[in-house]
Structure 1
Amino acid sequence: MKLSDLRLTVVGVPRSTGFVSKHVIVELMTDEGLTGIGEMSDFSHLPYYSIDLKDLTTVLKGILIGQNPFQLSRMNMELKSHFPEANFYYEKGNFIRNGIDAALHDLCAKALNMPVSEFMGGAIQQKIKVCFPIFRHRFMEEVEENIAVVRQRLEQGFDVFRLYVGKNLDADEAFLDGVQREFGSRVKIKSLDFSHLLDWKASLKAIRRLSAYDFEMVESPAPQNDFEGLRQVRMKSDYPVSEHVWSFRQQHEMLRQDSVDIFNISPIFIGGLTSARKAAAAAEVAGKGCLLGTTQELSIGTAAMAHLGSTLVNLNYTSDPTGPELYVGDVVKEAVRYEDGYLLVPGADKPGLGMELDLEKIEQYRVPDLSWGAVSVHQLQDRTSQTKQ
């Protein structure tokens, strides 16, 4: 079996907040009639540049066409030589490699008539506990809006939440206080997510201020690649520290300097399922826990993470992938499912990722390219359509 063609389709799917995230749907075709699908998820991130889709398609066809899809390691090495790690959280080369690697996994598992989780070694769980994100407060009036989100999502079975913090600590504190008063022990705050906005001293000050409320961990409490800052927070606070993995060099430094307790692993940020499995294995060897992170993928990307997570022995913290719950639509016939705050691993009775493209939905959300338009930095950081500064 050889790869015979590649199709990339850009879709722009609105979130419930009004922010439109652009994704690239990957289709890898073979000379035997099988097609693997993947997702380059959520290109709508800083840095402020876009990818030319025509050029990307030409380059990827040159790498992939005529290759045996089962040569995963060799093709990932080739992809990495063209789209190298840049030691940056939102490096778009990683996004590209992730979409192709997911499509290759989907294709190989389909050829073997098995789920991707079985292709990767076998599932040890069929559902993954996840949390729902509460996006960052910039204004006090957003507090009641976000408490209403907790109220609504709790009714739907989500009882764990992740709070983005650091822009308005008064509002962050008011939110935590309101949640504690209204919901008590029925709701759990998994983490305070600083998203690299503050230096470690400012983050530590904020953690101490908010420690009157119950949360499990802190995430990204220092600027990107500030390994000493992460270690300082880890040593000086009472909470475990989590950080994303976006390159193997960065993970090596976090291990060498003992900077974190928990590795936040997501295929989109490390460049695919193949790399994510390596990162999780490195964490396991070092005795570190893992959780699945997210950029808020559509169902294809979320399904890939669910299959990955189902195979990990050190996935011992609540994970983040709830993207399909944040969007007003999707591009598959049957979206991934959530039940009682768990992401269900799809496709136990279906080969591959268990996802099937819906061509009508793809046409509904299709956009011509990945260009930015009038998106502001505040929108990119806060994932909203708000224009207040």
Structure 2
Amino acid sequence: MPAPRAAPTPPTKGTSVSIPHEDLVIDRVETVILDVPLRRLHRFARVTMDAQPVLLAFVHTRGGATGVGEGVVPGGPWWGGESVESMKVTIDTYLAPLLIGRRVDQVEALWLDMGDLVAANLYAKTAVEVALHDAWARCLDLPLHDLLGGVTRTSIDVTWALGAEPVEVVVEEIQRILTAGTHTSFKLKMGAVDPAEDVQRIAAIAEKMAGAASLRVDLNARWDLLTSRTLLPRLAHAGIDLVEQPVPGEQVEALAEINAMLPIPVMADESLRTPHDALRLVRLRAADVWSIKVTKVGGLRRARDIVAIGAAAGIPVHAGTSIETGIGTAASLHLACAAPGVTWGSELFGPLLFVEDVVTTPLTYADGSLQLPTGPGLGVTPDPDAVRELRRTGLTRD
């Protein structure tokens, strides 16, 4: 195990909040896997899920504060390479022993040490990194966004995402949500069927919803460059407002070619996991918009770094989702409300898709926006009854 880095300098005299150093020390770390049922099936390019597997990481301090972070990938390891099962093993076996005895305010030093011990595994590291921030903020009795520089906004617009379903199913859901007045922009999943058939499906939806809603599509990196060059202009002609990640994440040059060709914005998602990825996207002018997901980049601070790179290059950032519960959604919301460069709205609709959320007080959605919660830390607290009810007893789902 690598030698721990030196502890940060203790707060100087005159600091507004004084906490005994011992209270900040991590006493134990625990992980729990939940299976949270969805209100409806959600179909991605490769999988369909009726429940979202979630990994919760709890960091307990000697002073009695507990922070929680969420590790989640949409529907399993097909998208990000990790699973809740692998996250639990990584945290329990490698990261937890590294954390115990260290302080929750040593976030950057702990991040470097975790990287020395475990390569990649950004989803597992996110769960830990967010839990450290939550515990630290609770020790200080401050909202988490204060640890990220304070707020630049107190709410963010939310786009509703739909699975790759038939035309009539998608149109019915969009019309129902429009009638309810809760959302006006929608993202449609693609990539589950033949590309030409998929384009016909989306064009039919766009025709039925013309003038009533903003429609975007997400191909989850399923097409190649030739297919994208041939078919994506038809989507633009049909009235689609934005195309998200048509080609595999590593094919940034192909993404850049598509971006230069299309008259509508291209959003990068799978191509953006690290600050280095962000620099490459800037150099190649590969995308007009970036989707930042706290879960996929390793936590709040790496997400903030990536947003800052985008802002410096004049690229707006969208707060994406891996379909998190209220816990993970709150973490993404604090980042989105603290980072000035998150100017392209969000897709933080996850809690609305669950039969029941796992927090005691649900996040507030109003007029198509998600409101920043008040209170210390994340501003939400896990519901022990829900956690107990949804907790998986082993590594495999029944």
Q: Given the two structures, how large is their TM-score scaled by the length of structure 2?
A: 0.85
Letter in 2 for 1:356: T
Tell me the CA shift for residue 298 of structure 1. Answer: 0.6
2:148 aligns to what? 120
1:367 matched to 2:392? The reply is yes
1:52–1:369: structure 2 CA closer, same or farther, 3 Å change rule?
farther
TM superposition shift of 1:328: 1.3
Match among 36, 51, 56 for residue 20 of structure 1: 51
**Aligned residue runs from structure 1 range 220-299, under 5 A:** 220-244=245-269, 245-299=272-326
- After superposition, residues 276-355 of structure 1 pair within 5 angstroms as 276-347=303-374, 350-355=375-380
1:151 aligns with 2:175: yes
In the alignment, is the contact (CA less than 8 A) between 2:141 and 2:376 conserved in 1? yes
1:41 is matched with: 72
Q: Is 1:134 the equivalent of 2:130?
A: no
In 2, Cα distance between the equivalents of 1:213 and 1:83? Answer: 46
Q: Distance in 1 between matches of 2:158 and 2:356?
A: 20
Check whether the contact 1:53–1:369 (CA below 8 A) recurs between aligned residues.
no
Contact 2:202 2:235 in 1 (8 A): no
Aligned-residue CA RMSD (Å) = 2.0
**Residues 136 and 377, structure 2, Cα contact 8 Å, conserved in 1:** yes
Give structure 2 stretches of 5+ with no counterpart.
Answer: 1-23, 42-48
CA distances 1:274-329 after superposition (whole Å, capped 9, x unpaired): 11001111111222111111111111000001110001222221321111111112
**In the alignment, structure 1 residue 51 sits paired with structure 2 residue 86:** yes
Q: Which residue of 1 aligns with 2:243?
A: 218
% same residue: 24
Structure 2 Cα separation of the partners of residues 53 and 188 of structure 1: 39
Shift of 1:76: 1.1
Determine if contact 1:225/1:250 at 8 Å carries over to the other structure. Answer: no
* Structure 1 Cα separation of the partners of residues 28 and 335 of structure 2: 26
Cα deviation digits, residues 53-110 of structure 1 (max 9, x gap)? 356313222110111111111111122223323xxxxxxx111111111111111111
Give per-residue Cα distances to partners, 1:324-373, cap 9 Å, x unaligned.
111112211112221111111112xx111011111111111111244367
Given that 2:129 and 2:299 are in contact with CA atoms closer than 8 Å, whether structure 1 keeps it comes out as yes
Q: Which residue identity lines up with residue 292 of structure 1 in the other structure? A: A
Q: Secondary structure at the match of 2:241?
A: strand
SS at match of 2:70: strand
- Determine the structure 2 residue equivalent to 1:9: 32
The answer as to whether partners of 2:184 and 2:213 remain within 8 angstroms in 1 is: yes
Is 1:29–1:35's contact at 8 Å kept on the other side of the alignment? yes
Cross-structure match for 1:104: 132
> Number of paired residues?
358
* Aligned-partner residue type, residue 305 of structure 1: S
Runs of 4+ off more than 6 Å = none
**Residue 52 of structure 1 contacts residue 369 of structure 1 at CA under 8 Å; is this kept in 2?**
no
